[in-house]
Structure 1
Amino acid sequence: MSAPAPAPALRDEVLIGICTFRRPELAATLASLQALEPCGLPVSVAVADNDARPSARALVDKITPRHPLPIAYLHAPEANISVARNALLDHARASGARLLVYLDDDETVEPAWLTQLVATWRRSGAGAVLGPVRAHYDAAAPAWMKAARAHDTLPVLGQDRATITSGYTCNTLIDLGDPATADLRFDPARGRSGGEDSAFFADYLAAGGRIAFAADAVVHETVPAERARLSWLMRRRYRSGQTHASLIARNPSMARRLREAGIAAAKALACGGMALAGAAHPATRNRQLMRAALHVGAIAHLVGARTIEIYGTAPGGPVIALRQNPKER
């Protein structure tokens, strides 16, 4: 048997990777890329279709001939977001693109978006760069939700309020030439529950990686009606708490689990108290309720509760299922 061909040397090129699952909004995402300002590097696009049948192929085939950027279609048919993310990782490495930029299939970009990500990468020397996601609501969305910017995505900062301690993949540049990214993969065990990006970046940071923030690398996301509800936000925060706790639980120490569960319980109670105190102010009250849900999710995972699944269903369909926690690796 012949040895596998070596991967090509990485070049200073950008691959914009988009995971998709039955979302017609993908057309608007690809259209927004047509107006990108030049970033000084060659740019291409790859779409990883996570549906069991290649449902996005016709849309991509229709758009590709008249799009200014080369677009590759990848079929990653597992209804598991980690499979799609890994398909894009593999495609970037196989094509020799050094910079992989993840973008969601329901987002649109500003013309300067990619220029800002690349400029921050050059300036900071960091191996990963995050940009902000700004949510947009329709007229029927609650006023408190708009005031609280409840669906915006921004980096999580450490106690020094400067160091970024976690990452996400809805607006992210990853330098595959950074040694800290070597052999990193998105965990398929997290591919339905979510949190695969948090785990990926936890491993990246543990390997010595560093994350920067490009405040002007803005993408926009329209919040659909089914997500413009407090119940959806609280489930999402609950799942985020489960993800955070699952990373803690990689440490097998029962003493640490109990200590973290106690801390989370105290924080949940404190958030509940602040929600009561701010009952007359919906934005304040609901923000505290969402924080409480985060801590309750952490407690639930640490004591062995089931994990919420959020991927593998069609947009607009059921978004929550439950399964037993996978064993920690």
Structure 2
Amino acid sequence: MSPTITIACVSPNLAKSAVETVVTLPTFRRPGHLLETLASLAAQQGAPPFAVIVMENDDEGRQGLEAARSLFERGDMTGLVLIAHERGNCSAYNAGWQTALSEFPQLRHLLVIDDDELADAHWVARMVDAAARLNVDILGGPQVPRFETGARSGFERHPVFRRPYAVTGVVPILFSSGNVLIRRRVLDTMGAPFLDTAFNFIGGGDSDFYSRCRERGFGFGWCADAPVFETVPARRTEFSWLNARSLRNGAISAIIERRRCAGGGGAAKRLAKSLALLVASPWRSLRLGLNTGSATIGLYHCQVAVGRLMAEFGRVNEQYRQPERN
């Protein structure tokens, strides 16, 4: 086991060699919601036997570990809790995925849910079934926003909260790791570290991973009837947060393209695309604003275009560096 990973507790009588499905759950300073997420996993219906790996990513406070420890030690949850000592969301995912491979030799399906989400009662069953029916390597599902009291209304139509696909089927690529199933052969082929830790505090490590997976020939799918429900704090409907997230989305797209298309020719092509998006963005934003009835939502395309250009000059907002503001 890597020195950056410590397995803190394991459920009693865990038959590791019998586990084929593992749900990984990163957590950082959300002990109350972590327990709600675990309760939603404990309530799964029709699912194959599965184990849960909780990845505590707060090496100092360890609130998630202490909240979940008794559930695993009593055997109320099957699986284990580990400490991912290296902070950052990519590091937490890497720790969980590496542990899943090393601790569960018969692993076939790895699922991911975040500690601010609740799984639908049939989530695991439907994700596993859809991956088999669609014969895809990586399967995503909806992250349905549930806005907390005090949140500004109408923002469920904002692109940062809107699901990328509407119906179940094969899709060209995915964008988020908050609700996903990954087949073991993807992890075996891509190798650790799976997510690039350069994205630890800006986000986008999952998008970069999917981009690399597509280059290796892996196929993607979408399961519309396997949602998770994401708790959205009121601060995420404030203009400052929406602006930062939209700028970040643009920056991430430019960074990923830069990694895929290195060299002078690639840089020129990327810059031309960024400038073209900037020129088109006012009209796209106007149309989005009119369609949604919101000037704030309409600004999205302009913000993404500006974010792409900022990234070209090395200016990228590390939105996850200060979690209390995220």
- Compute the TM-score of the two structures, normalised by the length of structure 2: 0.84
Matched to 2:325, the amino acid is P
Identity of aligned residues (%): 26
Give the whole-Å Cα distance in 2 for the aligned partners of 1:98 and 1:10.
12
User: What secondary structure, in the 3-state scheme, does the structure 1 residue paired with 2:298 have?
Assistant: helix
Q: Which residue of 1 aligns with 2:325?
A: 318
Q: Secondary structure at the match of 1:244?
A: helix
Is this contact kept in 2: 1:102–1:169, CA < 8 A? yes
- Of 97, 102, 107, the residue aligned with 1:89 is 97
1:114 partnered with 2:124: yes
Contact 1:168–1:198 (8 Å) recurs in 2? yes
Instruction: Give how far 1:271 is off.
Output: 2.5
Assess if the C-alpha contact under 8 Å between 1:268 and 1:295 holds in 2.
Answer: yes
Question: Quick check: 2:44–2:122 contact (8 Å CA) kept in 1?
Answer: yes
Equivalent residues of 2:151, 2:233 under 8 A apart: no
Q: Is 49-58 or 249-258 further displaced after alignment?
A: 249-258
Is the partner of 1:212 in helix, strand or coil? strand
In structure 1, which of residues 209, 225, 237 is the aligned counterpart of residue 218 of structure 2? Answer: 209
Indicate whether 1:19 and 2:29 are aligned.
Answer: no
Larger helix share, 1 or 2: 2
AA aligned to 2:79 is I
Q: Distance in 2 between matches of 1:10 and 1:210?
A: 28
1:165-180 matches, cutoff 5 A: 165-178=173-186
How many residues were matched structurally? 303
Unmatched tracts of structure 1, length 5 or more = 1-8, 320-329
3-state SS of 1:309 partner: coil
Q: What SS is found at the alignment partner of 2:171?
A: coil
Q: 1:300 to 1:43 in 2, by over 3 A?
A: same
Provide closer, same or farther for how the CA distance between residues 12 and 175 of structure 1 changes in structure 2, counting only shifts above 3 A. farther
Change (3 A) 1:291 1:67: farther
Gaps of 5+ in 2: 1-15
Alignment partner, residue 152 of structure 1: 161
1:307 to 298, 305, 316: 316
RMSD between aligned residues: 2.6
Find out whether 1:74 has 2:86 as its counterpart: no
Question: Which residue in the other structure is 2:113 paired with?
Answer: 103
- 2:60 pairs with 1:60: no
- Listed as ranges, the matches of 1:275-314 within 5 Å are 275-276=285-286, 283-302=293-312, 304-314=313-323
- How far apart, in 2, do the equivalents of 1:277 and 1:248 lie? 26
State the match for 2:11 in structure 1.
none
Separation (CA, whole Å) in 2 of partners of 1:279 and 1:164: 27
Whole-Å separation in 2 of the counterparts to 1:247 and 1:270: 21
Letter in 2 for 1:59: A
Structure 1 partner of 2:172: 164
| Letter of the 1:260 counterpart | R
Q: Which secondary structure does the structure 2 equivalent of 1:74 belong to? A: strand
Structure 2 distance, partners of 1:284, 1:239, is 21
Report the CA distance shift for 1:72/1:101 in structure 2 as closer, same or farther (over 3 A): same
Cα distance in 2 for residues equivalent to 1:150 and 1:263? 20
Amino acid aligned to 1:69:
M
- Residue 134 (structure 1) aligned to one of 123, 140, 144: 144
CA contact under 8 A between 1:110 and 1:219: conserved in structure 2? yes
| Distance (whole Å) between structure 1 residues aligned to residue 92 and residue 131 of structure 2 | 24
Q: Which amino acid aligns with 1:285?
A: A
1:30 equivalent in structure 2: 38
Give the drift of 1:174: 0.4
Map Cα deviations across residues 247-298 of structure 1 (whole Å, 9 max, x no partner). Answer: 1112223333233223323323333244457767764533331122112111
Match of 1:247 in 2: 256
User: Helix, strand or coil: the match of 1:296?
Assistant: helix
- The TM-score with structure 1 as length reference comes to 0.83
8 Å CA contact 1:36–1:113 kept in 2: the answer is: yes
For residue 100 of structure 1, report the CA deviation from its aligned partner: 0.9
